[in-house]
Amino acid sequence: MLYLTGIIVSVYLLILLIAKPQKTTADKILTAWQFLATIHLVYLYLFVTDQYKDVPGVLGWELPFPFIHGPFLFLYTLYLTNQQRHKNRWIWHFLPFLVDYLIWIPVLIQSPEQKLYTYEHGVPGYKGVIIGQTIATIISGVGYVIASLVLLKRHRRNIAGQFSNTGKITLNWLRYLIGGIGVIWFFVTFYLTAQTLYISVSLFIFFLGFFGVRQEGIFNRSSSGNPLPPQLPDESPVLLKEVMAIPAAQAPAVLMKHAAPEKVKYEKSTLTDEDATEIHGRLVKLMRDTLLFKNAELTLGDVADQLDIHSGILSQVINSKTEKSFYDYINHLRVEEFKKIVALPNNQNYTLLSLAFECGFNSKSSFNRNFKKFTGQAPSDYLKS
């Protein structure tokens, strides 16, 4: 009954995903992934309970399923973080999945009785194929986990350049999800049993479905006048080729290489230093006169609209003139404003958090983190000193 509960919950989460209103492309990818993951879980249930002997006709179709989870993880991360550039390249990620079905055709066309015998006694001549598939699935799984982590690291850089508060869009849960898949691949590689695999996959599907249902669009808050395109080029095909072609031990080096590119970000920009200085002066005046940074939902597009310039130009000006991202620039202004108002006598009856919210922070953790980042002290220690 414990094993059956996993399938019931998985089906329930699948129904919630299907019924989710205003689904984005990322939601559709997640729904398809949840559907196929549920089918995979049903197969694991048949094997862990030995009930596959009662339905031998369905055997064989589950063999290529390990090849789908890595691509789905990567594509979901790609679209959720709005880093996609080519709509039709996704199909290439599932080529190993389709090729594997061709390899197993001799088993798929067998009668139910033959399939059962094959599963009980092995497939003659397929020992090398099984070893090769095991190695290929591990490489695929590890490779896509690393590639997804790279996308997530890029996303964190991207939102720091677009948003002043990132608490709801940092996608920490997705980082844990990617880590969860990594743990599953660890068990698959070193401690594979039907029970451990079923339990770990069940927990993973619960996590995937639960947070996937709750996840909202990330880049929906951009200003209508300055849409926020992905700032980073689509290097995913190159990245995957490089990751898949190296030993797992060298993967962290590739992750660091792609996470911190050496090219100058604005080397091809035509913005002159005089123009940048003029825009920066207008920006400083705008913030001083309007205290726009007090808007907790402020985005780069909002500020660019006020200055009547493109958001990419504004981002370049902030980076070059302040050596800060948009996120750090706005939150530094908020910290400075807090330091001003906390010293006013008529504010002594207010809590630190209420004053922080007045300055534009939207959470206690964000306030404490940024205050310590720019002053080197916690807010309470700052007041004592």
Span 184-207, average pLDDT: 69
Q: What is the pLDDT of residue 332?
A: 94
Reduced 3-state DSSP string for the chain: CHHHHHHHHHHHHHHHHHHCCCCCHHHHHHHHHHHHHHHHHHHHHHHHCCHHHHCHHHCCCCCCCHHHHHHHHHHHHHHHCCCCCCCCHHHHHHHHHHHHHHHCHHHHCCCHHHHHHHHHHCCCCCHHHHHHHHHHHHHHHHHHHHHHHHHHHHHHHHHHCCECCCCCCCCHHHHHHHHHHHHHHHHHHHCCCHHHHHHHHHHHHHHHHHHHHHCCCCCCCCCCCCCCCCCCCCCHHHHHHHHHCCCHHHHHHHHHHHHCCCCCCCCCCCCCHHHHHHHHHHHHHHHHHHCHHHCCCCEHHHHHHHHCCCHHHHHHHHHHHHCCCHHHHHHHHHHHHHHHHCCCHHHCCCCHHHHHHHHCCCCHHHHHHHHHHHHCCCHHHHHHC
Please classify residue 245 by burial: count the beta carbons closer than 10 Å to its beta carbon, then call 0-12 exposed, 13-18 middle and 19+ buried. Answer: exposed
Least confident range from 7-11, 231-235, 300-304: namely 231-235
Average model confidence (pLDDT) for the chain? 78
Q: What is the pLDDT of residue 23?
A: 82
Chain segment 87-122, per-residue pLDDT in tens: 777 888 999 999 999 988 988 898 999 888 888 887
Task: Categorize the per-residue pLDDT at 196 as very low, low, confident or very high, splitting at 50, 70 and 90.
Answer: low
Residue 339 pLDDT more than 50?
A: yes
Span 201-217, average pLDDT: 68
Chain segment 149-186, per-residue pLDDT in tens: 888 888 877 777 777 766 655 566 777 777 777 777 67
Span 304-331, average pLDDT: 90
In the chain, domain spans = 2-259, 273-384
If phi over 0 gives left and psi between -120 and 50 gives alpha, with beta otherwise, what is residue 291? left
Residue 300 pLDDT more than 80?
A: yes
273-384 folds as: Arc Repressor Mutant, subunit A (1.10.10)
Look-up: residue for tokens 């089918």? 39
Sequence-distant (6+) residues with CB within 8 A of 235 are 258
Residue 202 pLDDT more than 90?
A: no
State in words which class domain 2-259 has. mainly alpha
Phi, psi of 163 (to 5 degrees): -125, 150
Q: What is the pLDDT of residue 223?
A: 38
Q: What is the pLDDT of residue 235?
A: 43
Residue 188 pLDDT more than 80?
A: no
Token pair recorded at residue 231 = 């700032």
Q: What is the pLDDT of residue 221?
A: 42
Span 211-224, average pLDDT: 52
Chain segment 117-155, per-residue pLDDT in tens: 888 887 667 778 888 888 888 888 888 888 988 888 888
Q: What is the pLDDT of residue 257?
A: 44
Least confident range from 30-44, 138-152, 231-245, 274-288: namely 231-245
Q: What is the pLDDT of residue 16?
A: 84
Task: Categorize the per-residue pLDDT at 226 as very low, low, confident or very high, splitting at 50, 70 and 90.
Answer: very low
Chain segment 51-80, per-residue pLDDT in tens: 889 999 998 898 898 899 889 989 988 888
Residue 233 pLDDT more than 50?
A: no
Residue 246 pLDDT more than 60?
A: no
Least confident range from 190-204, 275-289, 367-381: namely 190-204
Q: What is the pLDDT of residue 34?
A: 87
Residue 236 pLDDT more than 70?
A: no
Phi, psi of 73 (to 5 degrees): -60, -45
